[in-house]
């Protein structure tokens, strides 16, 4: 994600900030302009943009401190484009559930930011039930007979178990599933990949190429699921897939790879806005790549440029984490087959 600035004093601010810590103006994110706007209250208590005089109102969920997006007063909507997709939210009368919802919304808003950067149409199921998108955020306490809420996607509806927003619960699940990486944002990027398979691939000219790269998706998903949990991933899975779970079915291979493409592009945008140049101080014969990240990956249509930036950046990030005694930030190896799967997703997004 990019670095944002207060447009009153130019002080750097974070994506989820409500107040500029330098000039103390109110802040809100304008999803139409994809920028943070600096706001002040007039005597009538209206929110006025400092630089233009335009008037705004906060998304309704701002009152719960889970959203800082603002809407022009020229629009009648009381909820932002991200919050308009919510169908079920947790019981926020329980403080711990409210905190989990806040973590979930921050990750979901980052997801929507990325989709807006690509100019993807974002349609709520409330507007178009067949092709729209919606989110359910549920707790196990809502389920009968000790059943658990399963995080997943079905026909544009993304359901998330709010336990994923609890660091301890999520780490336990990561260990139980033998995963090297598990985050709320990672879940969203994976599940939105399923949604966009239906929107971009299912009945498109890309389907033949998809099958050549990922496999035949008409193979029974339930049978694939049973086989995966019975036998696990094949021993040589890392020669063709980005993760063990991606071996389960072509749909999961697509969703896992889609999520990684989003990881790569968004992280590279951050590196671009920090003006990051990687120039390892090692002998030239050592195969450690350098990079001057001078193009925003969201706008870059050349996949090989993006990939040439990612290898040195991920190597550097992992090295920094190891210096802090932490596990690798990006604990994955992109093999040649996965590279081509990533290239395909890049081409679909950019309509190449």
Q: How confident is the model over 67-111, as pLDDT tens digits?
A: 999 999 999 899 999 999 999 999 999 999 999 999 999 999 999
Say if residue 174 is exposed, middle or buried (CB neighbours under 10 Å; 0-12, 13-18, 19+): middle
Letter string b/e over residues 291-302, b meaning 16 or more CB atoms within 10 A of that residue's CB = bebebebbebee
Q: How many residues does the chain have?
A: 352
Question: Hey, how many other C-beta atoms are within 10 angstroms of the C-beta on 215?
Answer: 17
Of these ranges, 169-178, 274-283, 304-313, the one predicted with the greatest mean pLDDT is: 304-313
38, 30 contact by CB (below 8 A): no
Question: How much helix, strand and coil, in percent to the nearest 5, is found in the chain?
Answer: 40, 15, 45
Show the tokens assigned to 289. Answer: 């790549």
Q: What is the pLDDT of residues 215-266, one digit of tens each?
A: 999 999 999 999 998 998 899 999 999 999 999 999 999 999 999 999 999 9
Q: Residue 168 pLDDT more than 80? A: no
Show the tokens assigned to 241. Answer: 């897939």
Say if residue 138 is exposed, middle or buried (CB neighbours under 10 Å; 0-12, 13-18, 19+): buried
d(CA 268, CA 1): 8
Q: How confident is the model at residue 172 (pLDDT cuts 50, 70, 90)?
A: low
Note the pLDDT of residue 123.
Answer: 93
Q: Residue 286 pLDDT more than 90? A: no
Note the pLDDT of residue 126.
Answer: 92
45-49, 112-116, 328-332: lowest mean pLDDT where? 45-49
Q: Return the higher-pLDDT residue of 170 and 277.
A: 277
Q: What is the DSSP track for 4-43? A: EE-TTT--EE-TT-SB-TTT--EEEEETTTTEEEEEEE-T
Mean pLDDT of the chain: 91
Q: Residue 287 pLDDT more than 70? A: no
Q: Is 240 helix (H, G, I), strand (E, B) or coil?
A: coil
Mean pLDDT of 284-296: 81
Q: Residue 300 pLDDT more than 90? A: yes
In this prediction the pTM is 0.92
Torsions phi, psi of 13, nearest 5? Answer: -135, 155
Say if residue 278 is exposed, middle or buried (CB neighbours under 10 Å; 0-12, 13-18, 19+): middle
Task: Please name which of 6, 51, 8, 59 lies closest in space to residue 31, comparing C-alpha atoms.
Answer: 59
Say if residue 282 is exposed, middle or buried (CB neighbours under 10 Å; 0-12, 13-18, 19+): exposed
Show the tokens assigned to 31. Answer: 């999803």
d(CA 191, CA 151): 9
Mean pLDDT of 325-330: 92
């Amino acid at each position: 994600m990019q670095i944002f600035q207060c447009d009153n004093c130019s002080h750097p601010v974070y994506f989820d900030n409500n107040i500029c810590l330098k000039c103390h103006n109110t802040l809100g994110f304008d999803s139409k302009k994809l920028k943070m706007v600096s706001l002040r209250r007039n005597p009538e208590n209206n929110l006025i943009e400092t630089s233009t005089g335009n008037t705004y109102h906060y998304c309704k969920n701002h009152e719960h401190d889970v959203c800082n997006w603002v809407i022009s007063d020229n629009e009648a909507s009381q909820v932002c484009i991200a919050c308009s997709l919510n169908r079920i939210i947790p019981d926020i009368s329980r403080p711990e559930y409210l905190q989990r919802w806040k973590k979930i919304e921050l990750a979901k808003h980052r997801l929507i930011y990325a989709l807006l950067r690509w100019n993807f149409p974002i349609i709520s199921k409330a507007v178009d039930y067949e092709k729209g998108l919606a989110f359910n955020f549920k707790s196990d306490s809502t389920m009968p007979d000790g059943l658990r809420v399963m995080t997943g996607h079905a026909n544009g509806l993304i359901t998330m178990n709010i336990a994923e927003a609890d660091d301890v619960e999520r780490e336990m699940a990561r260990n139980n599933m033998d995963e090297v990486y598990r985050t709320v944002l990672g879940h969203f990027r994976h599940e939105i990949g399923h949604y966009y398979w239906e929107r971009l691939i299912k009945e498109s000219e890309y389907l033949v190429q998809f099958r050549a790269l990922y496999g035949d998706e008409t193979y029974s998903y339930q049978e694939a699921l049973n086989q995966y949990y019975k036998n696990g991933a094949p021993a040589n899975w890392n020669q063709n897939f980005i993760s063990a779970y991606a071996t389960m079915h072509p749909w999961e291979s697509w969703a896992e790879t889609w999520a990684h493409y989003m990881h790569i592009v968004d992280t590279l945008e951050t590196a671009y806005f920090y003006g990051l140049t990687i120039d390892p101080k090692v002998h030239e014969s050592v195969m450690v790549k350098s990079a001057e990240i001078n193009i925003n990956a969201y706008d870059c249509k050349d996949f090989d440029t993006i990939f040439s930036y990612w290898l040195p950046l991920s190597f550097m990030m992992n090295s920094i984490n190891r210096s802090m005694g932490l596990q690798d930030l990006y604990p994955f190896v992109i093999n040649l087959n996965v590279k081509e799967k990533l290239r395909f997703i890049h081409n679909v997004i950019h309509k190449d």
